[in-house]
């Protein structure tokens, strides 16, 4: 990667994401989210990125889920995007906080009704006694809201990862890959090229 590509890693990330959206067949905004519990035990899973802004990378989830509880105990996380067909990867590390309630409400209102009902019905990461129990909860929530709008449950919100570092990786021949690390410094970013 040439250092002239961008002095703004968020702008560069969004350019790469746009290319992924044009080329990746499935969920180009899918990202591996790594968290750790209060004892430092790591955990990783895939989530969907909803936006990348100067203030950070935003995703939504059940805050009572394992990831939500881990972020409450240890509000640091890492993201890893991998677009195999483009031979690119982006890694992000930083502190995490909740998005404003108004932002969570606004995004929740854009979700499919079935996903909204699912957010109420699922006790994410908790033991499930049977598939029938889940289906019964979904039916109960659907009946509760009938034809009216589905409000956002109090246990569902968004998180913003405020990046301290962002690393861009591009595959090159002979495993001599391009790696550029951006580190946040006050109001700007420093850039360092890394050995592959």
Contact 67, 157 (CB under 8 A): no
Residues forming the active site: 175
Structure tokens, 105: 């409400």
């Amino acid at each position: 990667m040439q250092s002239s590509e961008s002095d703004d890693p968020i702008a560069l990330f969004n350019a790469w994401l746009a290319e992924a959206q044009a080329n990746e067949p499935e969920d180009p905004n899918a990202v591996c989210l790594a968290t750790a519990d209060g004892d430092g035990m790591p955990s990783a899973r895939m989530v969907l990125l909803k936006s990348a802004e100067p203030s950070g990378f935003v995703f939504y989830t059940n805050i009572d889920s394992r990831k939500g509880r881990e972020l409450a105990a240890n509000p640091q996380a890492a993201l890893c995007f991998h677009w195999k067909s483009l031979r690119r990867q982006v890694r992000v590390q930083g502190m995490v906080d909740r998005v404003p309630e108004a932002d969570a409400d606004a995004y929740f209102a854009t979700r499919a009704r079935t996903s909204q009902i699912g957010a109420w019905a699922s006790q994410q990461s908790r033991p499930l006694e049977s598939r029938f129990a889940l289906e019964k909860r979904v039916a109960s929530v659907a009946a509760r809201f009938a034809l009216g709008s589905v409000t956002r449950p109090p246990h569902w919100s968004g998180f913003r990862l405020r990046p301290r570092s962002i690393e861009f990786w591009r595959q090159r021949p002979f495993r001599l890959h391009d790696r550029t690390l951006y580190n946040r410094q006050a109001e700007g970013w420093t850039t360092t090229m890394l050995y592959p």
